[in-house]
A and B are shown apart, each in its own frame.
Chain A
Amino acid sequence: GAEPMLGGGPGGACRARRLYVSFREVGWHRWVIAPRGFLANYCQGQCALPAALSGPGGPPALNHAVLRALMHAAAPGAADLPCCVPARLSPISVLFFDNSDNVVLRQYEDMVVDECGCR
């Protein structure tokens, strides 16, 4: 399940959007013991000024991102806007049966988007 993706055009400012990955939907629910799914989330939104300056509580803006947003504001054709990408991520653990009927617990780093930022 996911928030409806923003179509093209300006859309809202860069931030994390909800995306839930269900192991049942990808057909792994017979061999994944837990969890049933996880909130992976994703980043989307505009990185024009002032969003590139990042709102309250967001990650510190990268100077380069601000510079690019300024260049774009001054000469739209000269430089692309910064990109809205993950700025802080968290791990998940998955408990499952493998092909040899072992019970396996694996940790996966950087699987959940906690914060997005303009880069």
Chain B
Amino acid sequence: TRAPVPPGPATDALLQALGLHDAPQGAPRLRPVPPLMWRLFRRRDPQETWSGSRRTSPGVTLQPCHVEELGVAGNIVRHIPDRGAPTRAPEPASAAGHCPEWTIIFDLSAVEPAERSSLARLELRFEAAEAPEGGWELSVALAGQGAGASPGLVLLRQAVPILGPPVRAELLGAAWGRNASWPRSLRLALALRPRAPAACARLAEASLLLVTLDPRLCHPLARPRR
């Protein structure tokens, strides 16, 4: 074995070739890797070291710059945790109809302007003591700036029949333009209201699954077809 290569031009060049500006500084805050991310990785790289074959099973060829499992174009998939969770005070028990609103914050500073998004899926996990008649209604709006500011434009409203499995909301399309550029920090205001009198639910976890295509790393796109 050899001593690790000291950082320098060689590793910088390799980082740049991988489309990364710099290696994350210090040890990252290790957290469990979401099962979906493992599944997507294993689908494309069933072995820890790549044997150079591009097939998942005999005869199946993976499309370049495409995420088969999600059915969209893309070569970068990010699982972005909610940064607002730690600062969110536990909800006080409140009477039905006055359920709290939550502000969730996603750090999108790593997304580059050249990247074109093809999927932006909110994944929310709620906990509730009871299931109201007719289920719940989820509303997602742009959060106002500053504490206590009223929410901005409502991006989507969605019926949620039951709480249990994660609630998924697609932001691209109706809620967010496909060609719109992403802010460095996306702040959303969430509300989940019971359709019939019932105790409020609690937001247990929020994350954003963002799929983008960076054409600069997608040679087949760049290579003129003969």
Contacts from A to B (Cβ < 8 Å): 20, 24-28, 30-31, 33-39, 41, 90-114
Min C-beta distance of A9 to chain B, whole Å? 27
Scoring B27, B49, B81 by chain A CB atoms within 10 A of each residue's CB, the highest score goes to: B49
Task: Select which of B28, B47, B53, B110 is within 8 A of A90 by beta carbon.
Answer: B53
Q: Chain B residues near A110 (CB, 8 Å)? A: 219
Given A96-B24, A108-B19, output 16 extra A-B contacts at Cβ < 8 Å.
Answer: A25-B4, A30-B24, A31-B27, A34-B41, A34-B45, A35-B48, A35-B49, A90-B52, A93-B40, A98-B24, A99-B24, A101-B81, A104-B78, A104-B79, A105-B37, A106-B75
Contacts from B to A (Cβ < 8 Å): 2, 4-7, 11, 14, 18-20, 22-25, 27-31, 33-34, 37-38, 40-41, 44-45, 47-54, 64-65, 75-81, 107, 109-110, 217-220
22 CB contacts below 8 A, A to B, read A35-B48, A91-B44, A93-B44, A96-B24, A97-B28, A98-B28, A102-B78, A102-B79, A102-B80, A103-B37, A104-B76, A104-B77, A104-B79, A105-B37, A105-B41, A106-B76, A107-B44, A108-B75, A109-B64, A109-B75, A109-B220, A113-B52
Task: Select which of B41, B52, B75, B110 is within 8 A of A102 by beta carbon.
Answer: B110
Closest partner residue, chain A, to B19 (CB atom): A106
Question: With contacts A20-B49, A92-B45 known, is A26 near B54, CB below 8 A?
Answer: no
Q: How many A-B residue pairs have CB under 8 A?
A: 136
Closest partner residue, chain A, to B29 (CB atom): A101
Q: Chain A residues near B79 (CB, 8 Å)? A: 102-104
Closest partner residue, chain B, to A109 (CB atom): B219
| Cα of A115 to Cα of B81 in the assembled complex, Å | 41
| Cα of A112 to Cα of B49 in the assembled complex, Å | 11
Question: With contacts A24-B4, A27-B7, A110-B219 known, is A102 near B81, CB below 8 A?
Answer: yes
Closest partner residue, chain A, to B11 (CB atom): A26
Q: Chain B residues near A99 (CB, 8 Å)? A: 22, 24-25, 28, 110
Q: Chain B residues near A101 (CB, 8 Å)? A: 28-29, 31, 81
Task: Select which of B33, B41, B80, B219 is within 8 A of A93 by beta carbon.
Answer: B41
| Cα of A113 to Cα of B51 in the assembled complex, Å | 10
